[in-house]
Structure 1
Amino acid sequence: MDGDNKSAKPKPAVEKAAEQTGVVVSDDALLFDDSPEKEQRAELAAAIATLKGDLEAQTKTRDALLAKSSLTMEQARQLTDEHIDHLHRYNDIKDAGQMLFGKLAELKDKTVKEIYKDYNVDIED
């Protein structure tokens, strides 16, 4: 019986990974290839299949979060980009402030820590 799958042998991991990843590997290449690359190809195909599964799971999680937030993908990207821009600006301003405190400490022959204390600025700020 052609349609009977009961007699079919389970597919090796390499073949499953090849099916999942779309990587085409001929049966002859798998059967007669004793090279070390065969094992590497099998590991890579399995890794690709795992990564594709992870990507699908992360995509589903992302889509569920977007659905909860009522944001479109474009709006979420724009919000993220704006947040990153704000972080860059904050870091640039903080760096400039630290340089000024350093120069002031140098001019007053004090440590930066003392300058922070003089201006009631927390050293962690």
Structure 2
Amino acid sequence: MPEQNLEILRASITDLETQTAHLEAELAEITSKLKNDPNTTVRQHIRLLHEYNEIKDVGQGLMGMIADARGVRVVEIHREFGVREKD
């Protein structure tokens, strides 16, 4: 009985090694098709998000100044410029 269990385990290990080899080959193929290194892409996206947030903050500040100058609420300026709640 122990030898039978050992053979089952060996077959299972062989099957898992085969699956691992297939997955590694698939990963290599997909990675080779990437335009850039994934870490480079992530860093670029983070940089772009920071830049977007800075621009958005400036825009919000300008709309606040316009609202103050006109003596209206910022939400009214948002409506005037077509800025939606989720923008």
Match of 1:7 in 2: none
- Give the count of matched residue pairs: 62
Change (3 A) 1:75 1:117: same
Aligned to 1:115: 77
Flag structure 2 segments of 5+ consecutive residues without an equivalent: 1-23
Asked which structure has the greater RCO (Cα within 8 Å, sep 6+), the reply is 1
Letter paired with 1:116: H
Whether the aligned pair in 2 keeps the contact of 1:113 and 1:123 (CA below 8 Å) is no
TM-score by length of 1: 0.43
Aligned amino acid, residue 76 of structure 1? P
- Deviation per CA, 1:67-125: give whole Å up to 9, x if none: 33434xx8111111111110000000000000111111000000000001111221321
Q: Equivalent pairs: percent with the same residue?
A: 39
Please report the TM-score for the alignment, with normalisation by the length of structure 2: 0.60
- Equivalent residues in 2 for 1:1-125 (5 A)? 67=28, 68-70=30-32, 71=34, 75-125=37-87
CA distance, structure 2, for counterparts of residue 110 and residue 87 of structure 1: 30
More helix by share: 2
Query: Unpaired runs of 5+ in structure 1?
Result: 1-62
Measure the CA separation in 1 of the matches of 2:71 and 2:64. Answer: 10
